[in-house]
Amino acid sequence: MIYLTRKAEFAASHYYHNPEFTPEENQRIFGKCNNPNGHGHNYTLEVTVKGEVDPRSGFVVDLKQLKEVLNREVLDAMDHRFLNKEVPEFFTRIPTTENLAISIWQRLAPKLKTAQLHRVRVYETSDLFVDFYGEA
Compute, in degrees rounded to 10, the torsion defined by CA atoms 35, 37, 17, 31.
Answer: -20
Q: How far is CA 81 from the centre of its chain?
A: 13
In angstroms, rounded to a whole number, what is the distance separating the alpha carbons of residues 119 and 57? 23
Antiparallel, parallel or unpaired: β 116-125 and 128-132: antiparallel
Cβ atoms < 10 Å from Cβ of 60: 20
Residue 43 touches other proteins, criterion: CB under 8 A: no
**Quick check: is 41 catalytic?**
no
**Segment interacting with other proteins (CB under 8 A) among 12-20, 37-45, 54-62, 68-76:** 12-20
Rounded to the nearest whole angstrom, what is the least distance from the CB of residue 124 to other proteins in the complex? 10
DSSP single-letter state for residue 115: S
Rounded to the nearest whole angstrom, what is the least distance from the CB of residue 123 to other proteins in the complex? 9
**Segment interacting with other proteins (CB under 8 A) among 23-31, 35-43, 69-77, 81-89:** 23-31
**Quick check: is 124 catalytic?**
yes
Rounded to the nearest whole angstrom, what is the least distance from the CB of residue 113 to other proteins in the complex? 23
List the one residue from 31, 54, 68, 85 that touches other proteins (CB under 8 A): 31
Residue closest to 89 by CA, chosen among 113, 105, 112, 65:
105
**Segment interacting with other proteins (CB under 8 A) among 67-75, 80-88, 91-99, 107-115:** 91-99
Strand partners, 46: 7, 121
Task: Select which of 33, 86, 89, 98 is catalytic.
Answer: 33
Task: Select which of 73, 80, 89, 118 is catalytic.
Answer: 80
Catalytic residue positions? 33, 80, 124
